[in-house]
Chains A and B, each alone.
Chain A
Amino acid sequence: MTTLTTAPAPATPTPPSVELFDLRKVFGGTMAVDGVSLTVEQGEFLTLLGPSGCGKTTTLRLIAGLEQPTSGEVKIHGKSMVGRPAFKRPVNTVFQNYALFPHLDLLENVAFGLRMAGIARDERHARARDALAMVRLAGYEHRRTHELSGGEQQRAALARALVNRPTVLLLDEPLGALDLRLRKEMQLELKGLNRQVGITFIYVTHDQEEAIVMSDRIAVMLRGRILQVAPPMDIYRRPASRFVAEFVGETNVLAGAARATESGWAQVQLAGLGSLRGRLAESLDGEAAASVSFRPEWVSIGPVEAREAESAGAMSNGRLNRVIGSVVQMLFQGPDVVYHVMLPGGHVLRARRPIEAAESDSTRLGDQVALSFPVEETMVLVR
């Protein structure tokens, strides 16, 4: 895995919060988790992001001890968790369906872990009250779980996990059942809580926006493997593969043949469209089939210059890539206008302009335009 921001190995003797070594899990012949290795630092907010069935929840359950790996190892604070059941691990989980106990009131739900740990009644109730107050559920102590709204249940599940002061908190799509507004609110709260309590958060979601907003680092997963681990900004601007580029955010992709030029850069020949220049996601020897990916918000729209009108359509001048096409669609999307521009080969690219920039230009439907975007923000993806 080549990323721009792999943290250097810490010189301090304190072990990382969670380490996964070549973790594999087979369910009835299918490899749910296929060789996952990962290091999560103390206090970090790491998100496992991927489509459903990518193995992210299984990975989380392997850390929790709710599943045992087929092979590989989980270490928590440097200690091997091999053969150690869930109830003996210093982690707690917020489940997707919350899994609150229907036979207990909210206070007893939150105090459950402390009760199992043999903490005296008065102390565990006091701590459970504090935990409820922290998630703004003070006064709800004697409610039954079915009397709570989705958001309240979510916060209750969070309190029930955090009250045990776990060293690692595992969250399995905890916001999935909430409506958009509440979800955005809870995203910020969770992020704040992570900073405030200093507990390592490992968060599972299929929602890339959620992952970007909250995470210190994102691990993008597909078919049981981790494709890329990096901070959200790097995942977004420097995706290492076409899947990551397309899964996280919106992007334009053109296929072609890449040839490495100087170190870290490549020239990509597009079929019948000329060539573009971009950053290589990984080192490349000679030529290879590749995708060129660039985000619509980096693409600006301008008039076609006279000397360009005769050319093949795509070119680069070292700093900017330029592509010629005609505007087939203009969509007003709140703060932005999105232009759909068709290339001679029939491929449609998108350019996203802020509304104030779009207002001042006179582009009309059907116009021939030149799209330009920086080579710095153009990724050449071999995978």
Chain B
Amino acid sequence: MRASSAAVWALGLATLLFIYAPITLVIIYSFTADQTMTYPVKGWSVSWYEAVLANEPLHESFRNSVIVASISISVALLLGIPAALALDRFDFPGKGLLERLLVLPFVLPGMVLGVAMLALFNLAGIKLSLITVIVVHSTLLLSVVILQMGVGLKRWDRRLEQAASDLGANEWQVFWHVLLPNLRSVVIGAVLLGLTFSLDEVTRTFFVTGVDNTLPMHIFSMARQRISPEINAVASLLFGTSLLAFLIATRVGRHRVAER
């Protein structure tokens, strides 16, 4: 009994180490004073962060990523929320098929989708640019929004909508003043998840990128040239941002639990 519980602990620790040791190393080496990643670390500096701050192409790729992510998530929300509502409320022929088709981009191997999109853009004579990247990201985030909203709407008590309509709210007012505020945490969750997906997406993006790179694509090309501690600095910054987003997301989630 004791021995087996110790084994479970050991296994658990080993798993955590396996996941987090590389990230820890990345963070440690982002502060190295050396030109390469050598052990032991000879000295500490923030020079790699200064390099990141001075790296204009990196900044541009970051700006591109922010543009792509924010437009994609907006498109996904604008299309996804009404779609999720329609799927929740109405029965129509082919509904099951549509439901599956809408979440398919999420499940389909990224490479398949990337190749398919590239072929489509070629056939249509559309030049690859940030717009094609946005189109591809939007399809992915649309799936995310529909899935998340679908879960939220299943738990939603529609009697509150009837109460609102009884109090004189038209369909639009019911949506805006009752449904949306009550599903706020679901929407925020979908946005954070969507942004994370978009900021980090490479497989699909790879096929449809024109001259303008997104951040992960740029890091990818940097890494192919040379593993420099500068990449560690970028990675550490990204890790910190993701952690922050994750903490906000769980905070919002906890608020929702408290309301119930």
Contact = CB atoms under 8 A, between A and B. Distances in A.
Interface of A: 64-66, 85-88, 91-93, 95, 97, 99-103, 112-113, 115-117, 146, 160-161, 164
Nearest to A64: B166
Among all A-B residue pairs, the 10 with the closest Cβ atoms: A99-B163, A113-B167, A116-B168, A103-B181, A86-B165, A116-B169, A93-B166, A87-B165, A99-B159, A87-B168
Given A66-B162, A99-B162, A101-B160, A112 B181 contact: no
A66 B165 contact: yes
Most chain A beta-carbon neighbours within 10 Å: one of B162, B163, B181, B259:
B163
B159 A95 contact: yes
A86 B162 contact: yes
A146 B259 contact: yes
B259 A93 contact: no
A113 B170 CA distance: 11
Interface in B140-179: 157, 159-160, 162-170, 173, 177-178
Given A101-B178, A102-B259, A95 B163 contact: yes
B159 A87 contact: no
B182 interface: yes
A101 B174 CA distance: 11
Given A99-B159, A99-B160, A112 B167 contact: yes
Contacts of B173: 87, 116
Interface residues of B, number: 19
Nearest to A146: B259
B173 to A, nearest CB: 6
Contacts of B182: 101-103
A164 B165 contact: no
23 contacts: A66-B162, A66-B166, A85-B170, A86-B162, A86-B165, A92-B167, A93-B163, A95-B162, A95-B163, A95-B166, A99-B160, A100-B163, A101-B160, A101-B182, A103-B178, A103-B259, A112-B164, A112-B167, A116-B173, A116-B177, A117-B168, A164-B167, A164-B168
Interface string B181-221: 11010000000000000000000000000000000000000
A140 to B, nearest CB: 18
Contacts of A164: 167-168
**Most chain B C-beta atoms within 10 Å of own C-beta, residue among A103, A117, A146:** A103
A115 B168 CA distance: 9
B259 A87 contact: no
B163 to A, nearest CB: 4
Given A95-B159, A103-B182, A113 B168 contact: yes
A87 B181 contact: no
Nearest to B259: A102
A65 B170 CA distance: 13
A116 B159 CA distance: 18
A192 to B, nearest CB: 24
Contact of A86 (B166, B177, B178): B166
Contacts of B160: 99, 101-102
Nearest to A95: B163
Contacts of A102: 160, 182, 259
Contacts of A93: 163, 166
A97 B157 CA distance: 11
Nearest to B169: A116
B254 to A, nearest CB: 16
A69 B168 CA distance: 20
B248 to A, nearest CB: 19
Contacts of A103: 178, 181-182, 184, 259
B167 A85 contact: no
A117 B163 CA distance: 15
A87 B170 contact: yes
Contacts of B170: 85, 87
A85 B165 contact: yes
Most A Cβ at <10 Å: residue of B168, B178, B181, B184 = B168
Nearest to B160: A99
Contacts of A95: 159, 162-163, 166
Interface in B22-68: none
